[in-house]
Structure 1
Amino acid sequence: MNKTEYKQIVAGWADFTVPSTLPRQIEVRLDNDFIQAITGPRRAGKTFLCFQVMEHLRTQGVPENNILYLNFEDNRLIGAGASDLDGLYSAFLELRAPVDTSLTYLFLDEIQAVRDWDSWIRKMHDREKGVRLLVTGSSSKMLSREIATKLRGRVLSTEVLPLSFSEYCVWNGFSQEKGSPLYGRTLLAIQQQHAKYLVQGGFPALASQNVPAEQVLRSYFESMMFQDIAERNEIRDLKRLRVLAGLLFSSVGKEVSYTRIANRMRSMGFTLSKNTVIEHMSQFEDAYLFFQVLKHEYSLARQVGAIKKLYCVDNGLLDAVSPRFSGDAGRLLENEVFLELRRRGADMAYGRNGNECDFLLREKGRVTGALQVTQELTEQNEAREFAGLQEAMDKHNLATGTIITLEQEQRKDRITIVPVCKWLLEAS
């Protein structure tokens, strides 16, 4: 690219009208010297979070000319490298002439598409003390290598997942003051919102627009599979990849043996080793499609070697792509609880010592909480659900435990049974 092209791109984004949106309950601060990194799945709201931060800067009196936003999924920037970042920044300084007495803010969206972006970001951070940097990317591993090498000690990371239930309620016109009781019409309205959220999930476009949900979610899945997984990892056998993804979708909320998955793939006519399944699983995780939860073990080697449990980035995606989940409220509920725990930054594992406990919460390696998830406690499952939770409580010396259900609320000795709506909103 040449100087004229750089100026055209900068001018185009400078004239871009930022669409209005409801704010997320996520705070990103630019009042410090760290590089801010926002990661998360495609279409989860990273770009709009950038716009939210930009709008906050404007309300704080930052001049418009001191803010540059660039999206590197712009077709004109495909194949860009670090030298192009130099050209774009120079064009910005020439065109916008930032106010000298103020900080300059650079928002670089989907930066992982740029070759050697990390070297350029470090150079800017170390040399340009009047510049604040915010970068985003759709890869969970976008910063792992860079933080370990060139950007160590310079980055604060924020993960953006689809809307939490609290955000979903606000976006749909229901706001509940923290700590206020849920009852009567308010409770009924919240439960109706949750019934939709449980199945539809939290991708922002579905909460803010009247769109065909299944069609939109399938298009998101296709983009993840092609752009974020196959294209990024140079995978040619898309059919095999889709079949594997289908098997993993059907395993969400379950303990997953990758040896069995490989055997199942072979029985369906696909040549696939256990190691290849593990490699693809890593690629799915990198694209934020699936997540693995480890079994709690005090030995790291045993923990890594143990069977994992599998979860998906969004219930709507799960329901739209995997027909087996249609109507399976129990597994959707468990996946929902997992996602909320991840939003809260929980260090979690599952427990199994005879009976299973869905989630063990840990701090510095020590188990500090235990959660069990079930759609409804009945005569048929109550003994099993209580046994797994009580076993975990006894083993880890926990005074209390929690069972999350759709609607039941009760306390039995040391165990609190709580409806999911109340649990989801209590920490919002």
Structure 2
Amino acid sequence: MGRIRPFIGGELIKALTGIRRSGKSVMLDLIKRELLASGVNENQFISINFENLSNAHLCFANALHKEIKSRVSTITEKAYLFFDEIQEVDDWEKCINSFRVEFDCDIYITGSNAKLLSGELATYLAGRYVEFVIYPFSFEEFSKLYQTVFPNTDQREMFTHYLTGGGMPYLSNLRYAEEPSRQYLQDIYNSVVLKDIVKRNNIRDVDLLEHIIAYITANVGTTFSATAISKYLKSEGRTVAPETILNYIKACEDAFLFYRVRRRDLQGKKILTVKDKYYIADHGIREAVLGGNMKDINLIFENIVFLELLRRGYKVTVGKAGEKKIDFIAEKQNQKLYVQVAYLLASEETIRREFGAYGNIKDNFPKYVVSYDEFDMSRDGMKHRNIREFLLTDDWS
């Protein structure tokens, strides 16, 4: 709400995007509450959820335009238009642009596909919208809600639950019970795959898609290429061109299931074009469909830190300085920080590797090593933080 609030009531179209069930519809309700508190009358609201079957007849631009024009005509003041899962409407971009031009209105849209704000929209709405990605809960958000269900739970215990359950908001309604939560997260996963990936991209080979998703899910935070997946599939008896694999991965990215992170050569100052990393939108979904989060805890730590960087508005790349690798380089306006993530700094060799990764970087931006260790091992201007402390710190600069 802190990011959205400055734009409420303004002429820019507010677009809320993100993985299915991350809380976009709830955010629309919170915006409505803010408007009501500021004196706007509820009669000024027009709200349509296009995944509701009763609104199927409005999933065409002309039909939607006719309906909204009729309803806006009965509103004497500014109209507030809320459209949930707008991507279900054919030619929705033309329709929304028409509302913006024709009516005195404030428009909010949500969508579960990254293509929502590309292609056609670049033509019709360029410079006239602002996007907010709605992510599953951070550890801080999760903790606040968890304590309303189980008061007085200590921070360590909450973090353990967060590692396996993830941050999907609805889990609190299930009181974080293990089996119902697992079932719910599996259902989200199936819904994303079938509705937002298979159906939207007309994918015929669903079995191939599921194999590719399984590979990426198992290897979050690991550098690999489409060629590596192609070789893996060949060992499974399937011959698939790397180009096909890249198209399937892009469809997963568009559905906000995975986020790709490019690699940067810090010495050559260039983006490397091979072997990217991928992270999953919610590590709880990984546990539900694959399991093994506690076994792969170092990768889950990376996934959690990466999503936290995105939440806070950083652009994130993976660094390479000579032969040394930096887990994350995070940049935002004139800010920058470096983050190394490890499970435990259990040996002198591990400590040397994690802190030593910064050896060739001579700038004065913050350099963090984040791990599960409680004891502060900061040295030579490089900061060591327990992962819970790091996630709950308001300002990393």
- TM-score in same-fold range (> 0.5): yes
Aligned to 1:204: 169
Aligned pair 1:51/2:33, yes or no? no
Provide the secondary structure at the position in 2 that maps to 1:375: coil
Structure 2 counterpart of 1:420, from 359, 363, 387: 387
Shift of 1:91: 4.2
User: Structure 1 residues 418 and 261 mapped into 2: Cα distance closer, same or farther (>3 Å)?
Assistant: same
Distance 2:14 2:294 in 1: 39
- For residue 323 of structure 1, give the secondary structure of its aligned residue in structure 2: coil
Q: 1:367 Cα shift?
A: 8.2
Whether the 8 Å contact between 1:39 and 1:139 is mirrored in structure 2 is yes
CA distance 1:230–1:250, shift in 2 (3 Å) = same
Indicate the residue corresponding to 1:119 in structure 2.
94
* Residues 6-405 of structure 1 mapped to structure 2, 5 A cutoff: 27-28=4-5, 29-78=7-56, 80-93=59-72, 97-98=74-75, 100=76, 102-128=77-103, 130-173=104-147, 189-210=154-175, 212-297=180-265, 303=271, 305-352=273-320, 353-363=322-332, 368-379=336-347, 380-388=349-357, 390-391=358-359, 394-398=360-364, 400-405=366-371
CA distance in 2 between counterparts of 1:304 and 1:81 reads 42
Compared CA separation, residues 195 and 298, structure 1 to 2 (3 A):
closer
Name the CA shift for 1:196/1:156 in 2 (closer, same or farther; >3 Å). Answer: same
Cα offset for 1:170?
A: 1.8
Instruction: Give aligned-pair identity as a percent.
Output: 28
Separation in structure 2 between the aligned mates of residue 93 and residue 363 of structure 1, nearest angstrom: 40
SS of residue matched to 2:106: strand
Q: Which amino acid aligns with 1:67?
A: F
Displacement of 1:251 in angstroms is 1.1
**Residues 363 and 396 (structure 1 numbering): CA distance in 2 closer, same or farther, change over 3 Å?**
farther
Structure 2: state its 5+ residue gaps.
Answer: none
Q: Which residue of 2 aligns with 1:14?
A: none
AA at the equivalent of 2:87? Q
- The one-letter amino acid paired with 1:42 is R
2:223 partner amino acid: E
Per-residue Cα deviation, 1:342-384 (whole angstroms, up to 9, x for no partner)? 11111111112212110012356x8832110011111142121
Q: Which aligned segments of 4 or more residues in structure 1 are displaced greater than 4 angstroms?
A: 298-302
Q: CA deviation at 1:298?
A: 7.0
* SS of match in other structure, 1:108: strand
AA partner of residue 387 (structure 2): V
SS in 2 for 1:412: coil
Q: 1:349 to 1:228 in 2, by over 3 A?
A: same
Structure 1 residues 278, 369: CA separation in 2 closer, same or farther (over 3 Å shift)? same
The Cα shift of 1:427 comes to: 2.0
> What is the alpha-carbon distance in structure 1 between the residues aligned to residue 85 and residue 310 of structure 2?
22
TM-fit CA distance, 1:199: 1.5
- Residue identity matched to 2:199: E
TM-score normalised to structure 2 length: 0.91
2:259 alignment partner, SS class: strand
The 1:256/1:25 distance shift into structure 2, 3 A limit, reads farther
**8 Å contact 1:369–1:398 — kept in the other structure?**
no
- Between Structure 1 and Structure 2, how many residues are aligned? 386
Partners of 2:370 and 2:288 lie apart in 1 by: 24
Q: Which moved more, 1:414-423 or 1:110-119?
A: 414-423
Contact 1:367–1:396 (8 Å) recurs in 2: no
- Could you tell me whether the CA contact under 8 Å between 2:336 and 2:366 is conserved in 1? no
Q: Distance in 2 between matches of 1:263 and 1:133?
A: 47
Aligned equivalents of 2:132, 2:335: Cα separation in 1:
24
Whether the aligned pair in 2 keeps the contact of 1:250 and 1:325 (CA below 8 Å) is no
Report the alpha carbon displacement of residue 300 of structure 1 after superposing the two structures with TM.
11
Q: Deviations over 1:14-42 (max 9, x none)?
A: xxxxxxxxxx6653432211010000000
**How far does residue 105 in structure 1 lie from its aligned partner after superposition?**
0.2
Query: Aligned pair in 2 of structure 1 residues 173, 385: CA closer, same or farther (>3 Å)?
Result: same
C-alpha separation in 2, matches of 1:280 and 1:422: 37
Residues 370 and 387, structure 2, Cα contact 8 Å, conserved in 1: yes
Contact 1:162 1:314 in 2 (8 A): yes
Tell me, what secondary structure is at the counterpart of 1:378? coil
Please tell me the residue identity of whatever aligns with 1:415: M
CA distance in structure 1 between the aligned counterparts of 2:86 and 2:384, rounded to whole angstroms: 44
Specify the alignment match of 1:7 in structure 2.
none
- 1:326 deviates by 4.3
> Closer, same or farther in 2 for the Cα pair 1:92/1:400, shift >3 Å?
closer
Asked whether the equivalents of residues 256 and 308 of structure 1 are also in contact (C-alpha less than 8 Å), the reply is yes
Which residue number in structure 2 is paired with residue 4 of structure 1?
Answer: none
